[in-house]
Chains A and B, each alone.
Chain A
Amino acid sequence: MIRFEQVSKRYPGGHDALHEVTLHIESGELVFLTGHSGAGKSTLLKLISAIERPTSGNIWVNEQNISRIRRSALPFLRRNIGLVFQDHKLLFDRNVIHNVLLPLDIAGFRRHDAFSRARAALDKVGLLDREKSMPVALSGGEQQRLCIARAIVSRPPLLLADEPTGNLDSGYTADIMRIFSEFHRTGTTVIISSHDPSAVPAGRQRIVRLDHGSLAS
């Protein structure tokens, strides 16, 4: 599903975030991306969603080379990717359900269908009773769950989560990891980055460790 071939990324200013990374992730895998902060985890996720472009090398997502993807093709790539951000990126001018409706509006769903889908997504993350609340009234963990609901509402085949538990205490962390593994069980490819090894639940999932921009294992 995702293939990195000798991918390097150097940011303007000369900082090498990734160096010659070659990586293959199968469809339906659950992958944990670990490493110290600054190891290149966020960069790797940004490259998959084409938020950043590689300096060299090729990246394939769904058989499409996205290293030199045209700007006009970006939206259609992104619609197949659910993004969970460490800082949530919620919209504070609208209530919970309207935050979840945004991807469905973009995809052009009918209002009625969109609402029932959004409620299903909120139910999955346990926020159904908060649909009319404003995001500012939610706790940190609830905001992160809302971000996840928005990422999964259009049922993308690929889910990328960048430090989803970064600011949360361990109780919330387990909660959120449970949501991700449930989602993975429905066949979705899930990639989760975390600098905290204790956030990775015990199990048989694949762990990819980055060290100073290179693969460590």
Chain B
Amino acid sequence: MKIWLAHHRHAFVSSLHRLATAPFATFFTLVSLGITLSLPAGLAAGLASLQQLADRLPAQGTLTVYIRTDASSDDRAALDRRVHALPGLASARFISRNDALHELSQHLGLPDLSAELPDNPLPDAWQLTPTRIDPALNREWSERLSHLAGVDLVLGDQVWVSRLNALVALGDRLTTFLAMLLAAGLVTISGNIIRLQILTRLPEIEVSQLIGATDRFIQRPFLYFGALQGLLSGVLAWGIVCIAIWLATPELGELARLYGSAFVLGYPTASAGLTLTAVAAALGWLGAWLALRYTLLR
């Protein structure tokens, strides 16, 4: 156990030492790896903010059913029953035409609107909120209700919901693809650096094998080096993303304000940043492992 710890300490210190003795090479490598990683990380951060915006939207796939003014009380009772039998219904709110007019006058800031209108032009309506945002559910509800007697119009924001969802899904897919591509890039870059290191250190490896070094002993410093390199580039990518968000925030805030939105580009959370560094370290390690597999143990 003590020997094992000593070996690990030795490997770790020697890989740190190697990073430090070639500061320029280390710097360039880390920058290239960091930029590579920051692209998917930045995209993921932007997407997370967009997803948050979508979740916070007031319209949660709400459907409004407008009732004909000449609907009979039987039709209204039938509609009432049908509404409450809908699958996936979170809440159903009946808005009478008087309440609707009252709300409208308040919203417009015209308290005597009802007095000025000769007749209330608004219909009674049901406002239906589903338990989840799901365009398919909205369509199903719309189909079930729009043919009923007494129903004038079923209006939903499902088109808009669909578009946003499709956009987020596309972004998600794109980020995943980009992340996978650049992860492969990171593994390749890391692996290639380790491969070159192995080649320059072949004499040491040969002598070590001749005097009783195990494969693990020989591989360990390279694996540490790869993981350390990945870890540092992950931290760097985290920093790059934070700086980019910090730089973009004033302009983005202004843009969002002009659109009357409260959209804020959020910084990556601590857990997201730590995940990024951990994944980067793992990828660096993987690169080193592959390089060892194909250069050393052939």
A binds B: yes
> Any chain B CB within 8 A of the CB of A31?
no
> Any chain B CB within 8 A of the CB of A89?
yes
| A151 to B210 alpha-carbon distance, docked (Å) | 11
A89: nearest chain-B partner, CB-CB: B207
- Decide if B203 touches A102 in the complex (CB within 8 Å): no
**Least Cβ distance of B247 to chain A in Å?**
43
- Chain B contact patch, size range: 10 to 19
| A51 to B212 alpha-carbon distance, docked (Å) | 11
A108: nearest chain-B partner, CB-CB: B3
A83: nearest chain-B partner, CB-CB: B210
Report B-chain residues with C-beta under 8 Å of the C-beta of A76: 212
A151: nearest chain-B partner, CB-CB: B211
Report A-chain residues with C-beta under 8 Å of the C-beta of B204: 91, 93
Report B-chain residues with C-beta under 8 Å of the C-beta of A75: 209, 212-214, 217
> Any chain B CB within 8 A of the CB of A106?
yes
- Decide if A78 touches B210 in the complex (CB within 8 Å): yes
> Any chain B CB within 8 A of the CB of A105?
yes
CB < 8 Å A-B pair total: 51
> Any chain B CB within 8 A of the CB of A150?
yes
Report A-chain residues with C-beta under 8 Å of the C-beta of B6: 108-110
- Decide if B212 touches A150 in the complex (CB within 8 Å): no
B3: nearest chain-A partner, CB-CB: A108
| A49 to B214 alpha-carbon distance, docked (Å) | 15
Interface string of A89-125 (1 = CB under 8 A from B): 1011100000000110111111000000000000000
A91: nearest chain-B partner, CB-CB: B204
Interface SS of chain B: helix
- Decide if B206 touches A106 in the complex (CB within 8 Å): no
Interface SS of chain A: helix
Report B-chain residues with C-beta under 8 Å of the C-beta of A110: 6
**Least Cβ distance of A59 to chain B in Å?**
17
A106: nearest chain-B partner, CB-CB: B213
B2: nearest chain-A partner, CB-CB: A108
- Decide if B211 touches A103 in the complex (CB within 8 Å): yes
- Decide if B206 touches A79 in the complex (CB within 8 Å): no
A106 and B217 in contact, given A91-B203, A91-B204, A93-B204 (Cβ under 8 angstroms): yes
Report B-chain residues with C-beta under 8 Å of the C-beta of A89: 203, 206-207, 210
- Chain A contact patch, size range: 20 to 34
Report B-chain residues with C-beta under 8 Å of the C-beta of A83: 210-211
A102 and B207 in contact, given A108-B2, A108-B3, A108-B7 (Cβ under 8 angstroms): yes
A105 and B203 in contact, given A51-B210, A75-B214 (Cβ under 8 angstroms): no
> Any chain A CB within 8 A of the CB of B208?
yes
Report B-chain residues with C-beta under 8 Å of the C-beta of A93: 204
A73: nearest chain-B partner, CB-CB: B214
| A103 to B210 alpha-carbon distance, docked (Å) | 10
- Decide if A107 touches B10 in the complex (CB within 8 Å): no
B210: nearest chain-A partner, CB-CB: A83
Interface positions of A from 192 to 214, Cβ below 8 Å from B = none
Interface string of A44-75 (1 = CB under 8 A from B): 00000101000000000000000000001011
| A102 to B201 alpha-carbon distance, docked (Å) | 14
| A188 to B203 alpha-carbon distance, docked (Å) | 28
- Decide if B211 touches A78 in the complex (CB within 8 Å): yes
Report A-chain residues with C-beta under 8 Å of the C-beta of B211: 78-79, 83, 102-103, 106, 150-151
**Least Cβ distance of A29 to chain B in Å?**
22
Report B-chain residues with C-beta under 8 Å of the C-beta of A74: 209
**Least Cβ distance of A116 to chain B in Å?**
16
Interface string of B207-235 (1 = CB under 8 A from A): 11111111101000000000000000000
Interface string of A73-87 (1 = CB under 8 A from B): 011111100010000
| A77 to B213 alpha-carbon distance, docked (Å) | 10
| A103 to B204 alpha-carbon distance, docked (Å) | 12
Report B-chain residues with C-beta under 8 Å of the C-beta of A150: 211
A79 and B212 in contact, given A91-B203, A105-B10, A108-B7 (Cβ under 8 angstroms): yes
Of A72, A106, A109, the residue contacting B212 (CB under 8 A) is A106
| A149 to B209 alpha-carbon distance, docked (Å) | 17
Return 16 A-B CB contacts under 8 Å, by A number. A51-B210, A75-B213, A77-B212, A78-B210, A79-B212, A83-B211, A89-B206, A89-B207, A91-B207, A93-B204, A103-B212, A105-B10, A106-B213, A106-B217, A108-B3, A108-B4
Since A75-B209, A79-B211, A108-B7 are in contact, a sample of 9 more A-B pairs with Cβ atoms closer than 8 Å, ordered by chain A residue number, is A75-B212, A75-B213, A78-B210, A78-B211, A102-B208, A106-B208, A108-B6, A109-B6, A151-B211
B residues apposed to A, CB below 8 Å: 2-4, 6-7, 10, 203-204, 206-215, 217
